[in-house]
Each structure stands twice: as C-alpha cells, then as structure tokens.
Amino acid sequence: MIGDKASVNAMSGKTVIKGNPSEYVKLNVGGSLHYTTIGTLTKHDTMLRAMFSGRMEVLADSDGWILVDRSGKHFGSILNFLRDGNISLPESSKEIAELLAEAKYYCVSELVDCCTQALAKKEKVEHEPICKVPLITSHKEEEMLISSTTKPVIKLLINRHSNKYSYTTTSDDNLLKNIELFDKLSLWYSKRVLFLKDVISKSEICCWVFYGHGKKVSEVCCTSIVYATDKKHTKVECPEARILEETLNILLYENRNAPDAELIQVTSTRGALSGMSSYTSDEEDDQRSGLDRLRSSKSSNTN
C-alpha cells in the first residue's frame, strides 16, 4: 500500500516521493511497467535513491505511474541489481553496452564496473586469433604444454639446418609441403588438437610427433639417408596419407578414457582413409621392384 506522501502520485504532474521502504510505487519506464518498493529503489546510492527519497521531483500521470523518460528494455536488470547486488549479464556485447548506458544514467556505479569489465573481456576474446600455434623455446616448456592440456597434441619438428649431408633435389619442396600440411591441419583442428612447432631441436630435420593423454603415441619421420655413387644425401619426403592417418588416430584421445585397442588397430591400417591411396616411400618402391626382379630371376633359372 502506498503511503500518504507517496500517494501524491495519483495527481498528474511533478511531485515528490517519500515513503516507507516497504511501500510500493508504480514505474512507467519508456512504456515498460514495473512495480517495486521504495526500499529497493533507495537501497544503493544512485539517482533512483535521490528520486524516491524526496530529494528530487518526479513526473507522475493521472493514474499514479511515475514516468521515466528512458528505454525500459534493461530496467528490470537495473532493479534486480539493486535488489541482489549482482545479475547475469547479457551474452552479446551490444546488449551489455546498452545496459552500461542505463547503469551510467541511473548512477549505479557497481553495475557500471561490471559491464565495463565484461565488455573489455569480450573485446579481448574477440580480437584473439582463433588458431594459435606455440613455438617451442625449450624442452621444459614443451613438457609443460603437453602435460597441461586436455587435448591431443601434434608437434612438427622441423630444422633444415640440422643436416650433415646435402639434400636431394626434391627435399626442399617436401619440407615446404610438410609445413603447408601442418598449417592446414592446425586450421582444421585447432579447437580439438593442440599444435606445437619445434624449430630449435637438432635431433631431427622433419618429424611429426603425436601425443595423447600427455604421452607420445606415434611419430612420422620424414627424412632418410640415401646413397649416391659419390656421397650420401639427406632425403626429405612428405608422406601426407600417413600423416593424415595418424592425425585421425590421435583424435581418438580427445576423451578421457584411452581409445579401444581394436579401434586403434582398425584406424591405423594404411589406406583406411576413404578415397585415398596408401602411402609408400621411394625406398619401399625400390625394395618391392628389387624383390620382383629377384623372383623373376629365380623363376627363369628354374625354367
């Protein structure tokens, strides 16, 4: 029930509101109607306290509604903040900015701070790159990154200068292919896999390492030594099908439980990727052709 001084609202025009904290008042904020107590409106040191403690004149219509010439979209949130001291902020930056403008108008300083911090946090997140690939600076840092993440990990170790011999003619192109494949995979699976790049290690020239649940699961080494007539050469390859196969395998480690052994066996079979031929290196091709020649030679001798 509205008290004697608050009942002046029934008269059209400007008036002064002052009553007991338990007394209710009717508010028309930009066409949005609200019914609350004087105690809620004067709970915090805001402009609403000044309006409803007799310090300011307010405008009332003939039906006793206090008229406030502001948008009523977020006034319910303003009232809830006055009641409880906290509210759930809107999801979008646009609506948080709208609420911030209303909080500033009503001088609700604590809500102003909350909205300002939320907007700053959202702006930071929105400007952060979607895909981030850490460059390893030390073995200790590598261990920390692998052990602290809940995602599977794919690391590309690439160091062209870690080489004793000259490269074969196709090696530089294949190094670039490995880097391009790594970049594509990091874009495709950045939300599911942690990608690391190691350019300082000297143990390998080009090697993919796959980790699940903080432990090494497999690796694909892309370099080998080939023997020419005069000297040794380092050969770099890009076994794309094998790398894609291991990438799909490592996705099985997204869950906390280790993947089923039979499932790993099925997915690790070369050529399991749909529409993709199985990978064989040049050395394997040479070995197969050599075996074929040996078989042919034995067959002719038998005849």
Q: What is the pLDDT of residue 290?
A: 52
Output 265 or 73, whichever has higher pLDDT.
73
Greater pLDDT, 294 or 168? 168
Q: What is the pLDDT of residues 2-40, one digit of tens each?
A: 444 444 444 457 888 887 889 999 999 999 999 999 999
Fold for 139-277, please state it. Answer: Glutaredoxin (3.40.30)
In a 3-state reduction of DSSP, which class is residue 77?
A: helix
End-to-end CA distance of the chain: 117
* CATH 3.30.710.10 residue ranges for the chain: 6-127
- Region(s) of the chain under CATH 3.40.30.10: 139-277
98 burial class (0-12, 13-18, 19+ CB within 10 angstroms)?
A: middle
Would you identify the CATH topology of the domain 6-127?
Answer: Potassium Channel Kv1.1; Chain A (3.30.710)
| pTM, 2 dp | 0.50
Q: Among candidates 185, 167, 294, 292, which has minimal Cα distance to 246?
A: 185
Mean pLDDT of 77-104: 94
Higher pLDDT, 108 or 300: 108
Q: What value does the mean pLDDT of the chain take?
A: 83
CA dihedral of residues 80, 82, 85, 91 (deg, nearest 10): 40
Range of lowest pLDDT (9-23, 24-38, 109-123, 142-156): 9-23
Task: Name which residue leads in pLDDT, 259 or 302.
Answer: 259
The tens digit of pLDDT for each residue in 192-248 reads 999 999 998 888 899 999 999 999 999 999 999 998 777 889 999 999 999 999 999
